[in-house]
Amino acid sequence: KNEVEQSPQNLTAQEGEFITINCSYSVGISALHWLQQHPGGGIVSLFMLSSGKKKHGRLIATINIQEKHSSLHITASHPRDSAVYICAVTGSDTGNQFYFGTGTSLTVIP
Amino acid sequence: DAGITQSPRHKVTETGTPVTLRCHQTENHRYMYWYRQDPGHGLRLIHYSYGVKDTDKGEVSDGYSVSRSKTEDFLLTLESATSSQTSVYFCAISAGGGYTFGSGTRLTVV
């Protein structure tokens, strides 16, 4: 049983395309996180959100608490966006512990 | 991230040997975590600590032990390494609802 499900698992896009990665979760949460991991690299936190929408450069994250769903959008995608994007949630009754999705591997082709 | 470092970055060891991975933080955070990352599984919690000498098991703790004698250091020990413990290990610290990850340790057990 996975508390956090992501789709798609793999995604290939042409440079410039608009990209959407989806995340659904089944537990009550206090926050949802989007993380980025480049090949062979470390894990970087992109967003932490508990409601509404956040934007950072070409990245936009939204969350719908009622539907237990979040999306990560990338506008005007670029090859340097190629990475694994991981959705994670902090359970509302699990203290500081996270539940992680298995990640979406994005490849942006020039 | 400048606040958290893992060592070593890479290690190859033989089956049956003990291995210790180190996580060091300069942020004085209370919560520290050890995860392993494997294809198809995402990040899975091994052990975590909520203070000096206060630790607890995660979902994949079998074969691993941890120690935290100082706030800044969290050690992960494989008492007798097995091939199934070949993985990438990430340390993380938690503060303000967010996570900061170390750069990871790639461990190969041959």
CA distance B25 to B22: 10
Q: Smallest Cβ distance to B94: which of A96, A100, A101?
A: A96
Contact across the interface for A44 and B104, Cβ inside 8 Å: no
Q: How far is CA A86 from the centre of its chain?
A: 5
Q: Smallest Cβ distance to B101: which of A42, A90, A95?
A: A42
Q: Which of B80, B43, B49, B40 is nearest to B62 (CA)?
A: B80
Q: Smallest Cβ distance to A102: which of B41, B50, B58?
A: B41
pLDDT of A94 reads 64
Q: Which of A72, A77, A86 is nearest to A21 (CA)?
A: A72
Please indicate if any CB of chain B lies within 8 Å of the CB of A66.
Answer: no
pLDDT of B97 reads 67
Q: Quote the DSSP letter at residue B8.
A: -
CA distance A37 to A42: 6
Q: How far is CA A43 from the centre of its chain?
A: 12
CA distance B26 to B73: 9
Q: Which of A25, A23, A29, A27 is nearest to A6 (CA)?
A: A23
Chain A nearest-CA residue for B88? A40
Q: Smallest Cβ distance to A98: which of B41, B99, B102?
A: B99
CA distance A87 to A72: 9
Chain B nearest-CA residue for A4? B42
Measured CA distances, A77 to A70, A81, A107, A109, B35 (Å): 19, 7, 10, 9, 30
Measured CA distances, A61 to A9, A20, A32, B3 (Å): 18, 10, 10, 26
Shortest CA gap B103–chain A (Å): 4
Could you list the pLDDT tens digit for every one of the 110 residues in chain A?
678 999 999 999 999 999 999 999 998 888 999 999 998 778 999 999 999 999 999 999 999 999 999 999 999 999 999 999 999 998 777 666 788 999 999 999 99
Shortest CA gap B40–chain A (Å): 6
Contact across the interface for A86 and B103, Cβ inside 8 Å: no
**Tokens 């934007």 identify what position?**
A55
Please indicate if any CB of chain A lies within 8 Å of the CB of B98.
Answer: yes
**pLDDT per residue as tens digits for the range B2-56:** 589 999 999 999 999 999 999 999 988 999 999 999 988 889 999 999 999 999 9
**For every residue of A36-94, which 3-state class applies, written as one string?**
EECCCCCEEEEEEECCEEEEECCEEEEEECCCCEEEEEECCCCHHHCEEEEEEEEECCC
